[in-house]
Amino acid sequence: MLSFLLRRLVLSAVVISAISVITFGLSHVAIDPASGIAGDSATPQDIALIRVQYGFDRPLPAQYLSYVGQVLQGDLGRSYLTRQPVADMIASRVGVTATLAGLSILFALALSVPLGVLAALRPGSGVDRLALTIAVTGQAIPNFWAGLLLILLFGVTLGWLPISGSGTWAHFVLPTITLGSFATPALMRLVRAGMIEVLEADYIRTARAMGLSERAILFRFALRPAILPVISLTAVQLGFMLGGSVVVESVFALQGLGYLAWQSMTRADMPVIQAIVLMISLIYVVLMLLADAINAALDPRIRAAA
Amino acid sequence: MFRPTRHMLLAAALALPLALPAGLQAGPADNSLTIAMGEELPGFDGYISTSRDGVVMTRHLFDMLIYRNPETFDYEPLLATEWRRIDDLTWEFDLREGVVFHNGDAFTAEDVVWTLNTYADPATGARSQAAVSWIDRVEAVDELTVRVISKEPFPAALEFIAGSLPIHPADYAQSVGLDGFAQAPVGTGPYKLGEVRGGDFTLLRNEAYFEGGGKGTPAIDRIDVRLIPDTATRIAEIIGGSVDWTWNVPADQIPQLDRLPNVTAELGTTMRIAMILLDSVGRANENSPLADVRVRQAINHAIDREGIVAALVGGSGEVINVPCYPLQFGCDTGAGVAYEFNPDGARALLAEAGHADGITLKMGSFRDRSRAEAIQANLAAVGITLEIEMLQARASFSSWREGQIDMWYGDWGSFSIADTSASMGNFFDGGANDGARDEEVTALLAEAARIVDEDARLAAYSEAIRRATEAAYWVPMHTIVMGYAYRPGLNFAAPVDEVPRFFLASWE
């Protein structure tokens, strides 16, 4: 188990380094950082001066190394535009995004587990088809479109829920549905597939033969093994929630990390973009690592295979 | 090609006879106004936060020395009661007595001297150096008299003093530092900053605001500013009734919104001009076909500007033939060469230049894809293949400034300054904006920005415009219209300079 975890840790470190190289490279190719700092009314002389002052004239690998050195010391740099430390900007927004991502994944689980179980009990039935329809629709509708449809119905026409902002819990209802419905389909299909497989297993037949109630079979013996793979997928989906929040937060005017990323992109505020991409990747990698570890702890075959 | 957009979705929804909620009516009931803006401000320092939304907030929190009336375009007293020219370099201002900052500090000459001298120093990092770099120094004559001395004769001085130079309280600003000031600003303006919640914040009426200034006395008690980046969401909020005012509403939404009983929607004329800059100096491509004046003229002839304005700009948008906004001082519309829509002529010019087989160019743009695609179609008809690169505003402008594209279809608001030095002067200065690098035009504009005699200035601008349009360095396109949507019963006048003034607004 220990060597499995170590291998995974090393792999994660490699992934994070690769991501940091890519984001650093891309952000220096996309825009000249010196002209980004100098602003729109700067002369070429101003820009040349800034290039030297900030060390942008050095070779890229050297710049990358000093960037990594800073990041490792917890210094994510300062925003080109607000001059605030990027770490502070991220810290003040992470709460909204965490709330949204957490609520969305709970919503997705609350919807996908019962639906998946119901669909598995009667494959090919009306319930199964309904679940499939929900899955396909949820996956096919882009976030911003779904968000606007919900806004039109519940915010504008019915007037039941606030349209945008983050003042009260009611403000999180529509964004949670929007973002959560994107994660629902994959989770539900996995629950369904897992349940079908388990329900056909020999020990379930034995349980039935022993005269256990259908309810006990379902909840005490079938659901637990069937739901194992869902745990790791939930971790992956939580990562997607963080990425999806870029669009959803902008549509619903929630001022979280995703919105900060979007705003920074429109302003070419590279240090902020770089830090957010790095942070979300880091969270993603940690979640994957966690999921792998849980799976490995629960299933010896995975440990052996790795 | 038909591509359903989010705006079309809203348009479809608007077309239905919706059972609308009555609206919250909080605005008129408690004399407050909720406005939705699209852009988060980097802070409240008007010298750093120079985006359009930042300029709007600066005018509410702070005062300049003088005020330019948005209707008459006359200068009126504000923090200064009288002003006079002492010599070619020097303006003297008599300051208003008894003005206090939001924190209770008295306003004196010392505040003007400190603010302007500090931000005129390039090391302070004012974002728009054009607004301050002309200042040599500012001196106090006595407690309530200051002199602003420019490095060279600078005819547009009053424009910048009235438009871009808010006065900060010297003692407070020094005690909190630049970054602290941007987060907790103190001014003399008609509104002071209340609560800040992330990108949302509240402006409260300054009960101690002085009387007799050009801004008058504010009527609305409280302005709640909400940050809603998505245009469709802003429109939904105004229909839903929890936002009283918003802007940047797409032109095609205006008629439908205006039909709703609880929304007034209109398109306002602005000073903003749209244009296509041509990289004639060959920054993006050493062997650029745009180096040939005939190719540039062909592009001018190939684009159906009347058609684009009628179909895709709307409202009071107008075709322009000059590289400046026609109401700016020095923008002599008669001096420019106007290129009429003539695809045959364009093809002939291209053939003459040796490009009968066609050429391929890359154009960057940001505001409106449909307009960029109309240009693409126009140019395709004469044998020019146009690759379009749509980016966000700032990234798009950067790709032009860094010489990565042959053409840039952008627009320019001249910092709301009614002088040609702020439009043409910004793009033919030999700097990163300048894709023409015509030394004669640059010299003419530099001269026009320096001389004080108005007739001589006009003559220099006219000559610069004639040369620049003959050489077809730009395709001057059209003025931009701004879409506003607000609650009926709000007295609001759409301003030509794109700076809404809520201190002039009131509920009926």
DSSP state of B124: G
pLDDT of A10 strictly over 60: yes
Give CA–CA dist B428/B438, Å, rounded.
7
Examine the domain organization and report whether B199 and B334 are in the same domain: no
Q: Tell me: do B177 and B312 sit in the same domain.
A: no
Does the pLDDT of residue B95 top 80, yes or no?
Answer: yes
Lowest mean pLDDT among B111-115, B223-227, B269-273: B269-273
Enter the CATH code of domain A98-270: 1.10.3720.10
Scanning every residue of chain B, which has its alpha carbon at the shortest distance from the alpha carbon of A92? B198
Residue B238 lies in a domain: no
Asked if A82 lies within 8 A of B182 by C-beta distance, the reply is yes
pLDDT at B15 over 80: no
- Residue A165 contacts B where some CB pair is shorter than 8 Å: yes
| A52-66, B223-237, B330-344: least confident range | A52-66
Q: What is the mean pLDDT of residues A42-63?
A: 78
State how many domains chain B has.
2
Residue range(s) defining the domain that contains residue B422? 271-481
Domain harbouring B70, CATH code: 3.40.190.10
DSSP code for A78: B
Q: What's the CA gap between B137 and A287, in Å, rounded? A: 58
Q: Do A41 and B6 touch (CB under 8 A)?
A: no
Residues B187 and B278 in one domain: no
* Residue B446 sits in the same domain as residue B311: yes
Over the stretch A85-125, which tens digit does the pLDDT of each residue have?
899 999 988 889 999 999 999 999 999 988 888 888 888 88
Q: How far apart are CA A31 and CA B63, in angstroms?
A: 36
B212 and B283 inside one domain: no
- B234: Cβ–Cβ under 8 A, 6 or more apart, which residues? B36, B38, B228, B243, B246, B248, B249
Minimum distance, in Å, between the CA of residue B128 and any CA atom of chain A: 6
Whether B353 and B461 map to the same domain: the answer is yes
User: Which pLDDT belongs to residue A262?
Assistant: 85
User: What 3-state class would DSSP assign to A207?
Assistant: helix
Instruction: Please check whether residues B389 and B305 belong to one and the same domain.
Output: yes
B488 part of a folded domain: no
Residues B440-472 pLDDT 10s: 999 999 999 888 888 999 999 999 999 999 999
Most confident of the following: A137-141, A272-276, B326-330, B406-410: B406-410
Residue B3 in domain: no
Mutation for testing the A interface, residue in B9, B40, B200 having most A CBs under 10 Å = B40
Residue B13 to residue A267, Cβ atoms within 8 A:
no
| pLDDT tens by residue, B262-276 | 999 999 888 899 999
CATH code for the domain of B466: 3.10.105.10
Q: CA A188, CA A199: separation in Å to the nearest integer?
A: 16
From the list A31, A42, A253, the residue facing B229 with the nearest CB is A253
Judged by CB atoms closer than 8 Å, whether chains meet at A157 and B18 is answered as yes
Verify that B328 and B435 share a domain, yes or no. Answer: yes
Q: What is the pLDDT of residue A289?
A: 86
Region of A84 (left: φ > 0; alpha: ψ -120 to 50; beta: rest) is beta
Which of B130, B228, B402 comes nearest A253 by C-beta?
B228
pLDDT for residue A155 is more than 80? yes
Largest distance between two CA atoms of chain B = 72
Contact B432 A42 (CB under 8 A): yes
Query: Are B229 and A35 an interchain contact pair (Cβ–Cβ within 8 Å)?
Result: no
Substitution target in B237, B248, B256, B423 with the highest count of A β-carbons within 10 Å is B237
* Cα gap A273→A280, rounded to integer Å: 11
Per-residue confidence band for B117, with pLDDT thresholds at 50, 70 and 90? very high
Per-residue pLDDT, B21: 40
The pLDDT value given to residue B17: 37
Task: Give the gyration radius of chain A's Cα atoms.
Answer: 24
Has residue A140 got a pLDDT over 60?
A: yes
Which member of B21, B43, B227 has the closest CB to residue A253?
Answer: B227
* Alpha-carbon Rg for chain B in angstroms: 24
Are B223 and B310 members of one domain?
A: no
CB contact under 8 A, A42 and B129: yes
Q: List pLDDT tens digits, range A273-284.
A: 889 988 888 888
B137 membership: H or E segment, kind and range? strand B135-142
The last residue of one of the domains, among B170, B203, B227, is B227
B44 with B119, same domain? Answer: yes
Using CA atoms, how far apart are residues B405 and B283, in angstroms rounded to an integer?
A: 8
Q: Cβ B230–A250 below 8 Å, yes or no?
A: yes
Tell me the average pLDDT of chain A. 84
On whether both B223 and B275 belong to a single domain, the answer is no
Tell me if chain B has a CB within 8 Å of the CB of A155: yes
The predicted model scores a pTM of 0.81
Q: Looking at the partner chain, which of B21, B43, B239 has a beta carbon nearest the beta carbon of A82? A: B43
Residue range B121-130: average pLDDT?
81
A contacts of B242 (beta carbons < 8 Å): 162-163
Q: What is the mean pLDDT of chain B?
A: 90
Domain edges within chain A: 98-270
Mean of the pLDDT values across residues A7-25?
88
